[in-house]
Structure 1
Amino acid sequence: MLHFELVTPERLIRSEDVHMVTVPGTDGDFAVLEGHAPFMSTIRDGDVLVQKTPGGQPETVAIRGGFAEVNAGGLTVLAEHAG
């Protein structure tokens, strides 16, 4: 499982283990699974798609701006606004 956190300047929105997350990167959408290579990306306004199980229906969270970081601990999306 991939540990996923969605954070805004005001609060922690989500912190959970999921199957896959698709993020609206500045250079295009990217999907992150467990074991993804470390990297950072700026993100554009759009929807984060959170898939809790393989083949499951993704949950959509609208975000505005920010950046994403993938490291050994999982994926953290730091959004200017979420919801």
Structure 2
Amino acid sequence: MADLHFELVTPEKLLRSEDVHMVVVPGTEGDFGVLAGHAPFMSVIRSGELQVYSGPNTVSARIHVEGGFAEVNEKGLTVLAEAASDA
């Protein structure tokens, strides 16, 4: 399967821009996973932990985010977080 393009942005800067296998996002309605080819989707995110997977079973990063928005479109996943730091 093709990789998912993932970008994490805060008001200060672009923190990550990379191709990954999957990202699990802490949405206000519950956590959700995004793989390449996901249907277009927007969600408000709650404070919590983003999990970035480099492979099907490999978490390559855990990033604490403080609120914001997530958008999935044909280009990939963009997370606009109020603040973010490595967990």
State the TM-score, normalized to the length of structure 1.
Answer: 0.97
Alignment match of 1:4 (pick from 3, 6, 18) = 6
Partner of 2:59: 57
Partner of 1:15: 17
> By how many angstroms is 1:54 displaced?
1.7
Secondary structure in structure 1 of the residue aligned to 2:55: coil
Alignment match of 1:69 (pick from 71, 83, 86) = 71
Most deviating of 57-66 and 71-80: 57-66
Per-residue CA shift, 1:36-82, capped at 9, x if unaligned?
00010000000000001122134200000100000000000000000
Which runs of no fewer than 5 residues in structure 1 stay unpaired? none
**Count of aligned positions:** 83
Mapped partners of 1:55, 1:10: distance in 2: 31
Mapped partners of 1:79, 1:10: distance in 2: 10
Give runs of ≥4 in structure 1 deviating > 6 Å.
none
What RMSD in Å do the two structures reach over aligned CA positions? 0.7
State the TM-score, normalized to the length of structure 2.
Answer: 0.93
Identical residues among aligned pairs (%): 65
